[in-house]
C-alpha cells in the first residue's frame, strides 16, 4: 500500500479544516525530499548483516516520536509547527493512515503519551490532548497544563517523555552557545501529568533533545550536544547517566568531564561535576536514543543503546548523520560504534538524510525519524 503523501500546503489546509485552529499556520520548512520516498537511496545505508531498512511513513519534518499502546504513532516537528499521527492499520509495516493533530504551534518537537492523552511540548509550554485516539479527526486545541518555561528559541525546542515515576520530563537548553545560564535553563525539569509539581531534576545540561530510562535499573540516560567554537574535534557530544535527582553535568564549566571551558572553567575542578557515561563524536549532534528491549534483533543488542546522530552543521568535515550504538554492561557504557551509516557521502560531504529519534516497536523492529528527508524508517532483522 502506498504511503499517504502530503505537501506542506495540503497539510496546512487540512490543519485549518480539521482543527478549526484560530492560530495562524506558520511557514513550513521544506526538506530536501518531500513526497518522494520511492527515490530515497536506501541502498546506501550500511548496517550489520541481516538488517534491512524501509520507509514506514512519510512525515514532513519528522522529529520526536511517541507510540500509543494501540499502535498510533505521534510525531512532532520543529519550525513546521505541526503534530501528526500515523498508523499501520493493515499490518504491512507501512503507515496507511495519517492525521494532522495540531498546527500553528511553536516548534512542537516533543510528544509523549500517557493514559490515552497526548502531550505536546512547545518552546514555553506543554499542551495535553485528552482521549486523543478517539478524536484524531478533530482533536481541538487541547489544554495547556504548564506555560512557565522560558520563551527563547535557541535550544528551546524540547524532547519530552514520561519516566518510570509517572512524571513528565522536560528539558530547557542553554539559550546560547556558551554562557552562564540561570536556574531556568540548561537543565532537565519534571512535572506531574497535570502540570503541577515543577522541579529541577538535573542541571549543567547544555542541550539535550533525547533521553530514556534503563529497562532494569530505571535510571535516566540522556544525550547532550557539545558547545561550538572550540574547534573541529573539541569538545565531544555526550551520553550521560543520571541515577538520581540533583546531579550537575558540567555546563558551562567543563565539557566531556575534563575539558575546561576557556571562559567559565577557571576556578573549578572536574570533580565538582558528573562526567559523561560515554563521550560521543565531536559535533555529531546526538538526539533521540533508546535501549533495545525487543526480541527481533540478535541477543547481542539486548539492552544496548541506539542513538540518532543528526549530524554536524559547522565542522570542516561533517560528522554524525548516522545511528550509533553504545554498548552497555551491568548498567555501564562500555563502548561506542556505528550501527547504521550512509546518509552522508564522506567523499562529496553531501547528505540526503538526518536521523532524529528512535523508537522500538512491539514486534522488535525499530523506527527512525528523519526531518530532512521527511520520512520515518523501519529497521528490521531477519536471519
The residue-averaged pLDDT of 261-286 equals 98
Q: What is the pLDDT of residue 24?
A: 26
DSSP state of 39: G
Residues in the chain: 383
Each residue's pLDDT tens digit, 315-356? 999 999 999 999 999 999 999 999 999 999 999 999 999 999
- CATH class of segment(s) 8-381: mainly beta
Structure pTM? 0.91
DSSP string, 121-182: E-SS-EEEETTGGG-TT---S-EEEE--S----TTT----EE-TTSPEEEEE--SSSS----
Residue 72, all three cell numbers: 498510533
Tens digits of per-residue pLDDT, 295-323? Answer: 999 999 999 999 999 999 999 999 999 99
- Residue 376: pLDDT band (50, 70, 90) is very high
**What does DSSP say about strands 126-129 and 143-146: parallel, antiparallel, or unpaired?**
antiparallel
Q: What is the pLDDT of residues 224-252, one digit of tens each?
A: 999 999 999 999 999 999 999 999 999 99
Residue 178 C-beta-side C-alpha neighbours within 13 Å = 17
Is residue 6 within 8 A of residue 349, CB to CB? The reply is no
Domain assignments of the chain as residue spans, ordered by start: 8-381
| DSSP type of residue 43 | G
Is the pLDDT assigned to residue 37 strictly greater than 90? Answer: no
Per-residue confidence (pLDDT) for residue 35, from 0 to 100: 54
Closest of 245, 134, 234, 259 to residue 200, by C-alpha = 245
Amino acid at each position: 500500500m502506498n504511503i499517504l503523501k502530503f505537501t506542506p500546503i495540503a497539510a496546512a489546509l487540512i490543519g485549518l479544516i480539521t482543527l478549526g485552529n484560530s492560530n495562524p499556520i506558520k511557514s513550513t520548512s521544506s526538506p530536501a525530499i518531500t513526497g518522494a520516498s520511492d527515490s530515497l537511496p536506501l541502498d546506501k545505508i550500511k548496517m550489520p548483516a541481516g538488517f534491512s531498512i524501509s520507509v514506514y511513513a512519510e512525515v514532513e519534518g519528522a522529529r520526536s516520536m511517541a507510540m500509543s499502546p494501540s499502535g498510533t504513532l505521534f510525531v512532532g516537528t520543529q519550525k513546521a509547527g505541526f503534530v501528526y499521527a500515523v498508523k499501520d492499520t493493515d499490518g504491512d509495516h507501512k503507515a496507511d493512515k495519517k492525521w494532522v493533530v495540531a498546527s500553528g504551534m511553536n516548534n512542537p518537537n516533543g510528544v509523549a503519551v500517557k493514559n490515552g492523552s497526548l502531550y505536546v511540548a512547545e518552546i514555553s509550554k506543554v499542551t495535553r490532548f485528552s482521549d486523543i485516539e478517539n478524536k484524531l479527526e478533530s482533536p481541538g486545541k487541547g489544554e495547556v497544563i504548564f506555560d512557565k518555561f522560558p520563551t527563547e528559541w535557541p535550544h528551546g525546542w524540547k524532547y519530552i517523555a514520561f519516566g518510570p515515576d509517572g512524571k513528565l520530563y522536560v528539558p530547557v537548553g542553554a539559550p546560547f552557545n556558551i554562557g552562564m545560564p540561570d536556574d531556568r535553563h540548561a537543565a532537565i525539569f519534571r512535572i506531574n501529568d497535570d502540570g503541577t509539581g515543577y522541579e529541577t531534576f538535573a542541571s549543567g545540561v547544555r542541550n539535550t533533545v533525547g533521553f530514556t530510562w534503563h529497562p532494569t535499573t530505571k535510571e535516566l540516560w540522556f544525550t547532550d550536544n557539545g558547545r561550538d567554537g572550540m574547534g573541529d574535534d573539541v569538545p565531544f557530544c555526550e551520553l550521560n547517566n543520571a541515577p538520581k535527582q540533583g546531579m550537575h553535568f558540567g555546563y558551562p564549566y567543563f565539557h566531556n568531564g575534563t575539558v575546561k571551558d576557556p571562559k567559565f572553567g577557571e576556578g573549578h575542578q572536574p570533580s565538582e561535576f558528573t562526567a559523561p557515561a560515554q563521550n560521543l563524536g565531536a559535533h555529531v549532534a546526538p538526539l533521540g536514543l533508546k535501549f533495545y528491549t525487543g526480541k527481533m534483533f540478535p541477543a547481542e543488542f539486548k539492552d544496548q543503546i541506539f542513538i540518532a546522530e543528526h549530524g554536524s552543521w559547522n565542522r570542516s568535515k561533517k560528522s554524525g548523520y548516522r545511528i550509533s550504538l553504545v554498548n552497555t554492561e551491568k548498567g555501564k557504557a562500555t563502548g561506542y560504534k556505528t550501527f547504521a551509516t550512509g546518509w552522508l557521502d564522506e567523499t562529496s560531504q553531501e547528505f540526503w538524510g538526518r536521523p532524529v529519534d528512535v523508537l522500538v516497536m512491539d514486534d522488535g523492529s525499530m523506527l527512525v525519524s528523519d526531518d530532512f528527508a521527511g520520512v520515518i524508517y523501519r529497521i528490521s532483522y531477519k536471519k
